[in-house]
């Protein structure tokens, strides 16, 4: 047994506190000794591997923290689940069409991820969605023959030619027409190359959705055709004798749609478009409903924008039965259903792991027994308040102490109170505030005047990572990701903390956390043990984070390692990608690393000439410089 584990706290308490079972989707669990595990289902039953073991294995392979860890099994499992859930819903409803998924490349373009999706997904004919020439090129290279490709976004001549040739190569490549201006070019190029295209139309669904991406749908959405444009495009295609090419209807309601009723309303509207176009003689065969399937980041199954009030089975059933019911009146044949789930496919597969470098506490130092005789009257009053802090009236006592602290600061600025007295007074205030905090913990409800106190006294844990590089949505759109220690969870987490990253930017922090019972401004963590690593994980971050990240303070890409858990409980490191070196990051901002080295060499040579260093020191310095250029941008442990 771990010597520090205390009988009044168990791993089960930690699991409950951090809500692993709520947001983990069954993919993460905990050992009785307090280590978070990744849990993979095999035919023979579940297999669990502690993340800390994976971290050790990766360290032994030469990769330091921070680290983006991908667990391939989890991606495979999501693809299976998505496809099987739709198949099951289709079977239960007696629906006549089939389901086919496509992965929108923009959600995670990384080669490791796309390769896994196309290879594993082949058994379900899982396709890709591309929104730019670069995405189309990688899709053409990675997708198996006969694969389904859906092309959204603006298309120029080069894009269109490439897509047309894809048809010739045996792909099913749909151009989704997003704006009327694209059509003449598509018609002209297909006639010039003698290739008949597969076409889709993107409609604007007027049913509005909630959540963070409400602008994606509705009249003002920058994507898709208005009804007037839709009718025009159909007429133009008929006139060009290309109506037979128009086989797909597309819509995308938005991302992370938390409410199933809004999805139902959107699907009903899209199905009405479908039915009426078919009635007009458009030979549609597929209905593509885009993305929107949400991830329950906070694990409370509600309409909260970071959650969702439905299961995957509910989602599939809702789509299948809504199309079925809406088409019943028209008698149109059931379309094949396509969805473009990005977030829900990849979010679970990746986690960011980092170590804590240091902690800042907001604790009082040891206090003197008596107030110094020469103390300013306000300092003396602060002293008396502190002595009384266990029993003074909570709000009034705290507010007086706070007021005195601010007055003393002003007097210090005016030169009326010396540094030592200010320091004593600040220390006294901190001690009083701590005492107030302790007393607050005994109360069932925190008085509104003191609601900020826990956050103001929270420790700051300095993490070896950059929010801007690894968790851009946390900064840009207040996306909340589950964060927790990955070990020591059989110990009570006694500290309350926020997490600061390495950048010199006050936005470079995590200060909103998901715990069972709701969002909190501080995260319970364990005290650091000198000489021991302490690792935290940020979970569910496989969607949208990797290519949105930036080089703030020149922290580059982290190492990325993909592992696969085996049925016997071992794991294989499948792919390793070293993070950016300092030289690479510098060259992204237009420095020439060799020129930098030469500049430094000139300085060292001058120092030798001037007798400030000797030749062996010069060599050591130059080796250090060269080796730091080759090294990782993050802190070494």
Ligand X SMILES: *Cc1c(COP(=O)(O)O)cnc(C)c1O
How crowded is residue 456: how many other Cβ atoms within 10 Å of its Cβ? Answer: 11
Q: Is 325 helix (H, G, I), strand (E, B) or coil?
A: helix
**Least distance between ligand X and beta carbon 103 (Å):** 9
Which CB atom, from 222 or from 373, has the smaller least distance to ligand X?
Answer: 222
Question: In the structure encoding, which two tokens stand for residue 474, read together?
Answer: 């946390």
Which CB atom, from 290 or from 335, has the smaller least distance to ligand X?
Answer: 290
User: Rounded to whole angstroms, how far apart are CA atoms 297 and 474?
Assistant: 12
Which CB atom, from 427 or from 545, has the smaller least distance to ligand X?
Answer: 545
Which CB atom, from 306 or from 343, has the smaller least distance to ligand X?
Answer: 343
**Least distance between ligand X and beta carbon 293 (Å):** 6
Which CB atom, from 229 or from 503, has the smaller least distance to ligand X?
Answer: 229
Q: Which residue is nearest to ligand X (CB)?
A: 291
**Least distance between ligand X and beta carbon 292 (Å):** 5
Does residue 386 contact residue 431 with C-beta atoms inside 8 Å? Answer: yes
Phi, psi angle pair for 441, to nearest 5°: -65, -20
Nearby residues of 560 by Cβ (< 8 Å), 6 or more positions away? 67, 68, 70, 110, 112, 575, 576, 577, 579
User: Rounded to whole angstroms, how far apart are CA atoms 275 and 326?
Assistant: 8
Which CB atom, from 293 or from 327, has the smaller least distance to ligand X?
Answer: 293
**Least distance between ligand X and beta carbon 274 (Å):** 17
**Least distance between ligand X and beta carbon 232 (Å):** 22
Which CB atom, from 428 or from 543, has the smaller least distance to ligand X?
Answer: 543
What DSSP string runs through 527-582? PP-TTS--EEEE-S--SS-TTT---GGG--PPEEEEEEE-TTS-EEEEEEEPPPBH
**Least distance between ligand X and beta carbon 342 (Å):** 3
Nearby residues of 402 by Cβ (< 8 Å), 6 or more positions away? 429
Residues in the chain: 637
- Site residues, ligand X (CB under 6 A): 104, 106-107, 129, 152, 252, 255-256, 290-293, 340-343, 543
User: Rounded to whole angstroms, how far apart are CA atoms 13 and 489?
Assistant: 8
Which CB atom, from 251 or from 275, has the smaller least distance to ligand X?
Answer: 251
**Least distance between ligand X and beta carbon 295 (Å):** 9
Structural element, H or E, at residue 142: helix 133-142
User: Rounded to whole angstroms, how far apart are CA atoms 619 and 627?
Assistant: 12
**Least distance between ligand X and beta carbon 135 (Å):** 11
Peptide bond into 66 cis (omega under 30): yes
Phi, psi angle pair for 102, to nearest 5°: -130, 145
Which CB atom, from 290 or from 549, has the smaller least distance to ligand X?
Answer: 290
**Least distance between ligand X and beta carbon 490 (Å):** 36
User: Rounded to whole angstroms, how far apart are CA atoms 204 and 565?
Assistant: 43
């Amino acid at each position: 047994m771990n010597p520090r584990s205390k009988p009044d706290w168990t791993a089960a308490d930690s699991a409950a506190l951090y809500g692993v079972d709520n947001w983990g989707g069954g993919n993460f669990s905990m050992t009785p000794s307090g280590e978070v595990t990744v849990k993979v289902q095999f035919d023979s039953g579940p297999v669990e591997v502690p993340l800390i073991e994976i971290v050790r294995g990766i360290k032994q392979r030469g990769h330091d923290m921070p680290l983006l860890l991908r667990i391939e099994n989890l991606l495979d499992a999501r693809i299976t689940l998505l496809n099987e859930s739709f198949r099951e819903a289709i079977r239960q409803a007696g629906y006549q069409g089939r389901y086919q998924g496509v992965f929108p490349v923009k959600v995670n373009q990384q080669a490791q991820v796309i390769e896994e999706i196309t290879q594993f997904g082949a058994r379900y004919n899982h396709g890709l969605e591309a929104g730019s020439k670069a995405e189309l090129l990688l899709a053409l290279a990675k997708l198996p023959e006969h694969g389904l490709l859906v092309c959204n976004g603006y298309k120029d001549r080069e894009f269109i030619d490439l897509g047309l040739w894809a048809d010739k190569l045996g792909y099913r490549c749909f151009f989704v027409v997003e704006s009327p201006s694209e059509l003449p070019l598509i018609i002209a190029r297909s006639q010039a190359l003698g290739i008949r295209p597969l076409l889709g139309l993107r409609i604007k669904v007027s049913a509005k959705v909630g959540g963070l991406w409400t602008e994606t749908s509705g009249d003002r959405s920058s994507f898709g055709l208005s009804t007037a444009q839709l009718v025009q495009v159909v007429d133009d295609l008929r006139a060009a004798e290309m109506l037979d090419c128009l086989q797909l209807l597309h819509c995308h309601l938005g991302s992370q749609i938390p409410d199933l009723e809004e999805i139902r309303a959107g699907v009903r509207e899209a199905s009405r478009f479908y039915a009426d176009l078919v009635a007009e003689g458009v030979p549609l065969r597929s209905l593509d409903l885009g993305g929107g399937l949400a991830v329950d980041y906070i694990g409370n199954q509600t309409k909260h924008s970071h959650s969702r009030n439905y299961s995957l089975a509910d989602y599939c059933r809702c789509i299948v039965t809504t199309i079925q019911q809406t088409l019943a009146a028209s008698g149109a044949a059931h379309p094949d259903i396509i969805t473009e789930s990005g977030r829900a496919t990849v979010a679970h597969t990746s986690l960011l792991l980092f170590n804590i470098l240091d902690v800042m506490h907001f604790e009082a130092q040891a206090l003197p027994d008596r107030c110094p005789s020469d103390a300013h009257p306000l300092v003396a009053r602060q002293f008396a308040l502190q002595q009384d802090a266990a029993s003074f009236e909570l709000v009034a006592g705290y507010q007086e102490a706070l007021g005195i602290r601010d007055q003393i600061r002003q007097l210090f600025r005016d030169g009326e109170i010396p540094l030592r007295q200010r320091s004593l007074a600040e220390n006294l205030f901190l001690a009083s505030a701590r005492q107030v905090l302790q007393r607050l913990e005994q109360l069932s409800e925190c008085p509104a005047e003191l609601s900020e106190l826990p956050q103001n006294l929270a420790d700051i844990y300095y993490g070896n990572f950059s929010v801007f590089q690894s968790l851009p949505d946390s900064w840009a759109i207040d996306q909340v990701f589950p964060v927790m220690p990955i070990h020591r969870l059989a110990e009570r987490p006694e500290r309350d903390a926020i997490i600061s990253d390495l950048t010199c930017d006050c936005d470079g922090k995590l200060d909103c956390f998901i715990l069972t019972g709701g969002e909190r401004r501080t995260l319970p963590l364990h005290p650091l043990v000198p000489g021991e690593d302490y690792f935290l994980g940020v979970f569910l971050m496989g969607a949208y984070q990797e290519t949105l990240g930036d080089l703030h303070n020149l922290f580059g890409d982290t190492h990325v390692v993909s592992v696969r858990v085996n049925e016997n409980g071992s794991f294989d490191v499948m792919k390793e990608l070293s993070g950016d070196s300092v030289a690479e990051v510098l060259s992204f901002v237009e420095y020439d690393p060799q020129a930098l080295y030469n500049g430094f060499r000139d300085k060292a040579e001058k120092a030798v000439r001037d007798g400030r260093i000797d030749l062996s020191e010069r060599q050591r310095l130059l080796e250090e410089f060269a080796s730091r250029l080759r090294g990782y941008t993050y802190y070494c442990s």
